[in-house]
A and B are shown apart, each in its own frame.
Chain A
């Protein structure tokens, strides 16, 4: 039962353009959402998060949008840079009921072309 889904395994974007990575979830108990970035042979690195009481959170070039009614979130990167090329994981937790144990999606590999 995949509770967090990233339906696009890969995405290719031109440098300078916007990258949009999508994530859907099924568990209504999730109340905190995160994006992690992973380079080969390294552990995931925290990028940005959003609480379920918000619909948008912005940090520099990265913005996360949350649509609770659709159980959908997205990560926008603008402008995209070649150094952003990595695998991006969406993760969710139900902090009120199960601490901050994370449930991850399967990841989207982003390639930013120079």
Chain B
């Protein structure tokens, strides 16, 4: 399977704990995105990387959230001191982008976080 892979698929954590999610994009894709989806809403943009550089962060991404993409391959999203409002599906997507091509983003299956 050469699609976008996310781990874990489900995570239940106690309020105040830290959690980390991993995303492995499609291997040749240079852009990687994190989105968050809550019940009844569409995915909301959090941040994206071009190779290893984090180019944009949404205001939804509070200082408790940090994302990295070392070496421009896989990415991690860490949430510190989780709150119940962080409960959501966290989606990762990747795409191949250049000045001359526009490619659609391919999504992983998501990590469902429940904060109790």
Contacts and interface: CB of A to CB of B under 8 A. Distances in A.
Given A32-B102, A44-B91, A89 B43 contact: yes
A104 B105 contact: no
Contacts, number: 59
Given A44-B91, A104-B42, A107-B42, A98 B107 contact: no
Q: How large is the interface on B (under 10, 10 to 19, 20 to 34, 35 or more residues)?
A: 20 to 34
Interface string A88-99: 010100010011
Given A99-B48, A100-B95, A101-B56, A43 B42 contact: no
> Secondary structure at chain B's binding surface: helix, strand, loop or mixed?
strand
Nearest to A4: B42
Interface in A1-58: 4, 32, 34, 36, 41-46, 49, 51
Contacts of B93: 43
B48 A46 contact: no
Given A43-B110, A44-B91, A89-B42, A102 B105 contact: yes
Contact of A106 (B4, B41, B50, B110): B41
B65 interface: no
Interface of B: 4, 6, 31, 33, 35, 40-45, 48, 50, 55-56, 91, 93, 95, 97, 102, 104-110
Given A41-B109, A44-B91, A46-B106, 10 more contacts: A51-B102, A98-B56, A99-B50, A99-B97, A101-B33, A101-B48, A102-B105, A106-B40, A106-B41, A107-B42
